[in-house]
Structure 1
Amino acid sequence: MIDRELLRRFDALTPRERDVVVLVASGLGNDEIAAQMSVSPFTVKTHAVRAMTKVGARDRAQLVSFTFRAGLYP
């Protein structure tokens, strides 16, 4: 079941932040995401931290949990 409140929090993300969140939820690390997106690992970390702030996640594990609960990753 999709948590509609969490899904609304994800609306605040930029498209790049959302892409990073989905890749984090898929289990990839910063280096792997950076290679896939053709950006630096620092850029990936920045997007992930901003996404965590916007959705209210305290760490990457909680961000992944929120992503699944919001229905953004199958």
Structure 2
Amino acid sequence: MANKFIIRWITLCIVLVVASIKPIEADSDRFNACFESCNEKCKNDDYGNAYCEVKCDFDCGAKEVSAKFNIAI
């Protein structure tokens, strides 16, 4: 009986924690501006589309996360 109670209590705690987590909302305007300028500069340097897309996505994503958490890159 006690084991079932403990399992249910732990399950309830996990459900409450998961329900209270809010997803991080992207600042799409800032990301899009960064991505567009980075992508244009990368393509002007004669790199391929796939390389530029991955590079700029990574770089601008890192800048966005660092801005949200006040982390210096």
Q: TM exceeds 0.5?
A: no
Q: Choose between structure 1 and 2 for higher RCO, CA contacts under 8 A separated by at least 6 residues.
A: 1
Q: Going by fraction, where is helix more abundant, 1 or 2?
A: 2
If you compute each CA radius of gyration, which structure gives the higher value, 1 or 2? 2
TM-score normalised according to structure 2 size: 0.28
TM-score normalised according to structure 1 size: 0.28
